[in-house]
Amino acid sequence: MEPFDYIVVGAGSAGSILAGRLSADPQTRVLVLESGGSDASPWVSLPLGYGKLNTDPDRTWQFKTEPDPELGGRSGTWPRGRLVGGSGSINAMIYCRGLPGDFDDWERSGAKGWNWACVKNVFERLETRVSTSGQTSGDGPIHVQDVSDQVHRLNRHFRAAIDETGLPWSENLNGDKSEGGGVYQINTRNGRRCSSAKAFLYPALGRENLHLEKNAHVRRILFEGSKATGVELVNGRTFVARREVILAAGAIGSPQLLQSSGIGPGHLLQDLGIPVLRANDNVGGHLQDHLAATYTFVAREPTLNAVLRPFLGKARAALKYAFCARGPLALSINQCGGFVRSRPDLDQPDQQLYFNPISYKVTPHGERRRFELDPFNGFIICAQPARPTSRGRIDIQGADITVAPKISPNSLSTEEDRRAVIDGGRLCQKLMATKALSALVDQSVAPHLSELDDAGLLADFRARASTVYHPVSTCRMGASSETSVVDNRLKVHGVDGLRVVDASAFPNITSGNTNAPTMMLALKGADLILEDRKRHAS
């Protein structure tokens, strides 16, 4: 197979798309190196298998953050997928493009050509949209399923509460009217997870010019002068790339690899004895993430807990799934929510809502953590500030790539973010005070949402909020190395033959869940790589 034209590091949400697209030309040899192993597991295919995967040490990295000062000095756990399909193989499958304003903001911050008008058709090429009746529109590889006919009955109270508060309702959170409460669409196909690995990578693996190497952990990028020429694995094996090395190792892995290879904050690299190829403080900087704290209630009517806790209920759900590929096992745990404004004077929605007809705890079991459903008819509500402005950092702690980097989220470090937390809490209170939801509640579980004032809401968030698993922007795209790591063609500033194409290249966090925009970025990234190749050849 050697030498390769392109080496893609990471077979996650972005890497799988690159692999599929770049290898479409039989003359182009592509190597994909993935640190983790296979995604062949029923828990990966089964949408509700999420509860198992999230804490599975064999299929995930379980990163720990530094104590976060504004979260009471708490350290958080950040799972990331470490298997074929990456985090896209273990995530909750909510499919949200994000809001148009998010991408206009990308362009404003220096990512020319990435505004909403430019990326909308890339999303459309990515997707086949599937209605409740099975009708399809579009012919993209990622199937986006409307599950509004399948979500639990309890969600009707959420819909009524949205109407009662005068907030809009969106029939399609990925449509032209994406603002409002709504039912989340999910990336499943016939009741199974439709990750980018399933949709792009596997169909291409039969090609002779595409090679996937699993359990291949890349230690560093190799350079000749300032041109990337290949990579070295932790076991010492090296691979040569004739054209480009493309990092798709995710928002933690990609900055870690750049820094380990001499591209990063000069003082940090010097202190660690790593020769500096290009000093750039933005590598590992600008880290953003979504945070949320959920409020749990006991309902007066059965929730999903009543279905999935008893043995008989589980057996019924399993049979329904086995015979019809429908029912609770075919869905995400996140069913309703949407994008809303906590105050009417805002330009665009500032909160993402979640209303889940299920409640659970994550408890330690020896070395592992386990999801356990509450022994009552629980449901949860929460609001997640959609566009946090706080920025943290990820930095390596030594030259050894197998040592986890230092993750400093720096959450709630801006007044704006603290205000958004209070606004989100107030919005949840308003929703829970509606006739529709107050009549549903038998009792609230501590901390009691209705009793919290502004200071109480913020204090509670500091004490309990955790990641929604959306780290981005640690190799952000922008106009120059003064403010960013890659240019608008995703090429690393100051070197040749090297790009970063994954969630780390987001200029800023989008309002919703980050998988769909990551896949969009990878599809457009593949277009740019192929365009550049053509230009070179002519």
Out of 10, 51, 265, 424, the only residue in the binding site for ligand FAD (CB under 6 A) is 10
Q: Least distance from C-beta 254 to ligand FAD, angstroms? A: 8
Q: Which of residues 42-61 bind ligand FAD (CB under 6 A)?
A: 54
Report if residue 253 touches ligand FAD, rule: CB under 6 A. Answer: yes
The interface region with ligand FAD, picked from 22-30, 79-87, 303-311, 449-457 by CB under 6 A, is 79-87
Torsion angles phi and psi, residue 125, rounded to 5? -70, -25
- Cβ nearer to ligand FAD, comparing 31 with 436: 31
Out of 513, 520, 525, 529, the only residue in the binding site for ligand FAD (CB under 6 A) is 513
DSSP secondary structure code for residue 433 in this structure = T
Burial 118-131 (b: 16+ CB within 10 A, else e): bbeebbeebbbbbe
Report if residue 485 touches ligand FAD, rule: CB under 6 A. Answer: no
Number of residues that bind ligand FAD (CB under 6 A): 43
Out of 18, 22, 94, 386, the only residue in the binding site for ligand FAD (CB under 6 A) is 94
Q: Least distance from C-beta 310 to ligand FAD, angstroms? A: 26
Distance CA 474, CA 484 (A): 9
Q: Least distance from C-beta 445 to ligand FAD, angstroms? A: 23
Out of 515, 523, 524, 526, the only residue in the binding site for ligand FAD (CB under 6 A) is 515
- The string of DSSP codes covering 329-382 is GGS-S--EEEEE-SSTTSSS--EEEEEES--EEEEEETTEEEEEE-SS-EEEEE
Report if residue 23 touches ligand FAD, rule: CB under 6 A. Answer: no
Q: Least distance from C-beta 456 to ligand FAD, angstroms? A: 29
Alpha-carbon distances, residue 358 vs 48, 303, 381, 506 (angstroms): 12, 6, 10, 32
Beta-strand ranges (E) seen in 434-493 are 441-444, 466-467
286 carries an active-site annotation: no
Report if residue 255 touches ligand FAD, rule: CB under 6 A. Answer: no
Q: Which of 306, 429, 318, 309 is nearest to 377 (CA)?
A: 306
Q: Which of residues 130-169 bind ligand FAD (CB under 6 A)?
A: none
Beta-strand ranges (E) seen in 52-177 are 60-64, 77-81, 127-130, 136-137, 142-145
Out of 91, 185, 229, 335, the only residue in the binding site for ligand FAD (CB under 6 A) is 91
- Cβ nearer to ligand FAD, comparing 321 with 469: 469
Distance CA 345, CA 430 (A): 17
Distance CA 126, CA 9 (A): 21
Out of 20, 36, 110, 180, the only residue in the binding site for ligand FAD (CB under 6 A) is 36
Report if residue 503 touches ligand FAD, rule: CB under 6 A. Answer: yes
Out of 44, 48, 71, 92, the only residue in the binding site for ligand FAD (CB under 6 A) is 92
Out of 391, 470, 493, 499, the only residue in the binding site for ligand FAD (CB under 6 A) is 470
Report if residue 257 touches ligand FAD, rule: CB under 6 A. Answer: yes
> Quick check: helix, strand or coil at residue 201?
helix
Distance CA 489, CA 223 (A): 20
The H-or-E segment that residue 421 falls in is helix 415-432
Report if residue 81 touches ligand FAD, rule: CB under 6 A. Answer: yes
> Quick check: helix, strand or coil at residue 145?
strand
Q: What amino acid is encoded at 313 in this protein?
A: G
Report if residue 31 touches ligand FAD, rule: CB under 6 A. Answer: no
Report if residue 220 touches ligand FAD, rule: CB under 6 A. Answer: no
Q: What amino acid is encoded at 37 in this protein?
A: G
> Which spans of this chain sit near ligand FAD (rule: CB under 6 A)?
9-15, 33-36, 54, 79-82, 86-88, 90-94, 96, 217-218, 248-251, 253, 257, 401, 469-470, 502-503, 513-516, 518
Q: Where in the sequence numbering do the catalytic residues fall?
A: 470
